[in-house]
A and B are shown apart, each in its own frame.
Chain A
Amino acid sequence: MEQNELFKQLTKKSVASKKDIFGKYLSLSALILIGITVVAILFFVISRGLTTFTLDKINPFRFLFGTDWQPNNVDKNNNPLVGALPMIFGSFVITLLSALVAAPFAIGTAIFMTEVSNQRGAKIMQSVIELLVGIPSVVYGFIGLTVIVPFVRNTFGGSGFGILSGIIVLFVMILPTITSMSIDALNNVPKIYRESAYSIGATPWQTIYKVVLRSAIPGILTAIVFGLSRAFGEALAVQMVVGNSPVIPQNALSPAATLTSVLTQGIGNTTEGSLQNDVLWSLAMILLLMSLVFNLIIRKIGKKGEMKNNV
């Protein structure tokens, strides 16, 4: 009998362990709340985006590859004109080109900060990058509207609103993102690589170009994809300068539209549940799926880079 009591006393949970369990589950519930939120966002946006195809019976193929975007009108077969290709094309072209322009500048700045400059120069550029990150996107849009659009208009003609202005604005916006991640990638290259290169008589540039940059390729690629992903999802700054005309652009100066710009303008002007509203949600779904794709690419690159470093 007495032994039983003792056994109970000894195996009973202590106050401390009770507190610990309480804390553990309290903090876990916060984490799970975030998980639920993400699942809810994915589920609701995707299911809302699919109503265009399930409820309104729009052919997904016509939606993705149609070039006529006039959701209020129908063609002669009474099919609504909801071809989203102009926006999908616009988003991709502007995103890819802006990353193409930004990457050399970003990588150059990152090399400057990690390999070339002294500490003071690197510190100055560090604050430059931090300040560029801090400028809000509407402010970028406003500068685009008051400086870049007139500049493009006066230099190349046209209205100034269009793909080129969008690219310039996005270039500046994603520059700090790509730069700061490239810096991390370059810093992760072991110091011994550089020392080995120098010891066999390589010049600083040969060291940078043939050794450091090559071993940092996975990290730099990740940085560029992050930049792409940010550019693809940027809404207001692009919408303010891109001209918002949903046609396939003819050249770099013609006005265009992106997924985000059409969404920004349209959601407030359509009635909930109408076809015009449903197709906008389908555009939002494409945006969401694309950001998942970018995420996947980043993971793939990360895994490859890890394997390479282990060999």
Chain B
Amino acid sequence: MFNSKQINKLAISFIYAIAIIVALILLFLVSNILINGIPEISWKFIASPSKTFEAGGGISVQLFNTIYLLILSMIISIPIALGAAIYLNEYAPKNDFISVLKTAIEVLSSLPSIVVGLFGFMFFVLKFNFGFSILSGSIALTFFNLPLLTRSIENSLAAIPNLQREAGAALGISRFETVIHVILPAALPSIITGIVLASGRVLGEAAALIFTAGQSSPNLDWLNLNPFSPHSPINPMRPAETLAVHIWKINSEATIPDATKISAGSSAVLLILVFIFNFLARYLGNKIYKKMTAGK
């Protein structure tokens, strides 16, 4: 039969084959999305509103909604995640109460996003009467986002050496001031990287949004900046279909004749956005790190 050297060779080449297959899967996926999608992208596609029953619609409103929801949910979730992470890393004693809270964060991160969306639907859309709105959607996204963001900020804080905290204590300033003025600035690069990565994830989320931000997009009047008007782009109480929800909806409802083309274009736009965010996360992280450590 085989000796151990031959088995070794066989097994190692098998491992190589698996890695190559996985890389080919990615290559196939990305090239498929980009090759089918990029020809559909044009200025007209990006800048014109979608159509419900005819061909030739664009994605301007969906694109705007996606970015707006992302920003709003980040405004809500960053302070909460930051606070929770500061407490967990700087203050938290080791007791049952804290470990229950830690478990709660883990549970939240493992909940299916559709369940989070349904809770948002029941609680904010119906009970609080926010309706299908950007506000409901961004709160649902916050739930989806909080656990990962908290963990990433916590890791960033934990990576700062204790020497910094001791230096603060030696100067006689409070622990909280040490955190605000010493620890946070030092951890900022990796916190920003974490936030940008989280944004990339939020961009593509749809399941938590279909029942909270809704699946319709009223025609917007871009010049109307009155936040209470239903046609104003910045009104947080209007329903807002995002790009990811749009892809899902036009494929499952099939009322638009060119749904495949529009989804291909939208998928490519979404993918490119996500890639930009991933790239930005790395680039910013490196750059800020260099600036703060005075490296060249």
- Residues of A that sit less than 8 Å from B by CB: 16-17, 19-20, 22-24, 26-35, 37-42, 44-45, 48, 104-105, 108-109, 111-113, 116-117, 121, 124-125, 128, 130-132, 134-139, 141-143, 145-147, 172, 175, 179, 203-206, 208-209, 229, 232-236, 239-240, 260, 263-265, 267-268, 272, 281, 284, 287-288, 291-292, 294-295
Contact = CB atoms under 8 A, between A and B. Distances in A.
A145 B115 contact: no
Nearest to A133: B201
A267 B32 CA distance: 33
The 6 closest A-B pairs by CB, nearest first: A136-B204, A233-B112, A30-B83, A23-B176, A108-B18, A20-B174
Given A39-B104, A136-B203, A143 B112 contact: no
Given A35-B104, A137-B206, A203-B5, 5 more contacts: A19-B177, A20-B177, A38-B108, A203-B8, A209-B11
A131 B275 contact: yes
Given A20-B176, A30-B84, A105-B22, A233 B114 contact: yes
A104 B278 contact: no
Contacts of A131: 26, 30, 275, 278
A226 to B, nearest CB: 8
Nearest to A22: B176
Contact of B173 (A16, A28, A34, A128): A16
Contact of A240 (B123, B245, B252): B252
B244 interface: yes
Given A35-B101, A134-B275, A233-B111, A175 B16 contact: no
Interface residues of B, number: 89
Contacts of A203: 4-5, 7-8
Given A41-B116, A142-B263, A287-B114, A27 B83 contact: yes
A165 B88 CA distance: 43
B118 interface: yes
B110 A112 contact: no
Nearest to A132: B26
A42 B143 CA distance: 13
Nearest to B28: A147
Given A109-B18, A135-B274, A139-B33, A44 B119 contact: yes
Contacts of B4: 203, 205-206
Contacts of A292: 107
A108 B91 contact: no
B195 interface: no
B108 A44 contact: no
A17 B169 CA distance: 12
A12 to B, nearest CB: 15
A109 B19 contact: yes
A108 B19 contact: yes
Contacts of A232: 112
A113 B11 CA distance: 15
Nearest to A48: B122
B168 to A, nearest CB: 10
Given A34-B84, A128-B22, A268-B211, A138 B176 contact: no
A31 B83 contact: yes
B11 A205 contact: yes
B74 interface: no
Contact of A138 (B82, B83, B177, B248): B248
Contacts of B247: 138-139, 141-142
A203 to B, nearest CB: 4
B192 interface: no
Nearest to A175: B22
B174 A27 contact: no
Nearest to B127: A44
A27 B91 contact: yes
B119 A125 contact: no
A207 B213 CA distance: 52
Nearest to A20: B174
A260 B206 contact: no
A139 B111 contact: no
A292 B278 CA distance: 30
B25 interface: yes
B207 interface: yes
